[in-house]
């Protein structure tokens, strides 16, 4: 998936703003070495760096990393994938916000995170949990079916686990899970086209092979389905459900 870093920063900056609470949970200390896994355009890496920690931000998107380097040239950023990291006992903490639901090879990612940490190091993350954007995806799938594109319905590129599933995955890797919570977080989207922009930003893979005209028809149909429940006082909301977790090596 090729990311639109400008759309990400201008219309979906809520990703970083909500991540500020996860940084607080991380509680970075001056002098610590911290890996920001899935750093996007670098806003949270910069926040962590301001505490005096030494931050390395990694993301699989070349576009995101290019923007992060422009915005924060004093922070180290690299193009790397969560399931293919090659760090060994280098970090006091691994931090990740709104990333791990994109990683289908979750066992490999967990092993890479574990290997990257020093003994006693902590892993602090938030990402999409079980039933995340379920109502939105139901509407989109209904729209695909209505316009005769049932094959697009079966495309899957997200991983939304339950707490039990993900905690078990980490424990099998050797982590001690100290804290885990699953919670609803209805998330406001910017602008009158907020719902369409969300699908355009995060769901582009669903529309593979479709014309721009057909994509617009499908998005308009999904939007109409969602309007009674997801547009409140003129503001669109995404039906987010999140997992927040802390584990130690």
Diameter of the chain by CA atoms? 56
pLDDT at 203: 86
Evaluate if residue 205 carries a pLDDT over 90. no
Q: What is the mean pLDDT of the chain?
A: 91
pTM score, whole prediction:
0.90
Question: How many CA atoms, within 13 angstroms, populate the side-chain half-sphere of residue 133?
Answer: 22
Evaluate if residue 12 carries a pLDDT over 80. no
Q: Which domains does the chain have, with CATH numbers?
A: 5-132+157-190+241-248 (3.40.50.150)
For residues 70 and 235, what is the distance between their CA atoms, to the nearest angstrom? Answer: 32
Per-residue confidence band for 20, with pLDDT thresholds at 50, 70 and 90: confident
Return the closest-CA partner of residue 57 out of 79, 36, 83.
36
Evaluate if residue 88 carries a pLDDT over 90. yes
The per-residue pLDDT for range 112-152, each reduced to its tens digit, is 999 999 999 999 999 999 999 999 999 999 999 999 998 88
**Look-up of token digits 């909301």:** 237
Report strand pairing: 235-248 vs 176-189: antiparallel
Q: Write the DSSP assignment of 22-44 as a string of letters.
A: HHHHH---TT-EEEEET-TTSHH
Q: What whole-number percentage of the chain has pLDDT above 90?
A: 84
For residues 117 and 209, what is the distance between their CA atoms, to the nearest angstrom? Answer: 41
β-partners of residue 94 are: 35, 123
pLDDT at 17: 57
């Amino acid at each position: 998936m090729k990311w639109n870093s400008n759309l990400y920063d201008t219309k979906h900056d809520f990703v970083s703003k909500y991540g500020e609470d996860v940084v607080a949970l991380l509680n970075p200390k001056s002098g610590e070495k911290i890996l920001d896994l899935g750093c996007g355009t670098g806003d949270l890496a910069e926040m962590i760096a301001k505490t005096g920690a030494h931050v390395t931000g990694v993301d699989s998107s070349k576009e995101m990393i290019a923007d992060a380097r422009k915005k924060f040239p004093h922070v180290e950023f690299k193009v790397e994938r969560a399931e293919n990291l090659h760090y060994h006992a280098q970090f006091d903490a691994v931090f990740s916000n709104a990333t791990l639901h994109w990683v289908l090879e979750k066992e490999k990612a967990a092993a890479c995170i574990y290997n990257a940490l020093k003994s006693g190091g902590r892993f602090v993350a938030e990402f999409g949990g079980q039933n995340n954007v379920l109502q939105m995806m139901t509407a989109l799938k209904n729209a695909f079916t209505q316009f005769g594109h049932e094959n697009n319905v079966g495309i899957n590129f997200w991983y939304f686990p339950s707490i039990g599933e993900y905690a078990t995955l980490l424990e099998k890797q050797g982590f001690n899970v100290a804290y885990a919570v699953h919670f609803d977080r209805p998330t406001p989207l910017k602008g009158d086209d907020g719902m369409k922009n969300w699908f355009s930003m995060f769901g582009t893979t669903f529309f593979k092979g479709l014309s721009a005209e057909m994509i617009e028809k499908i998005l308009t149909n999904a939007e109409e389905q969602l309007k009674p429940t997801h547009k409140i006082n003129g503001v669109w909301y995404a039906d987010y459900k999140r997992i927040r977790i802390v584990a130690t090596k």
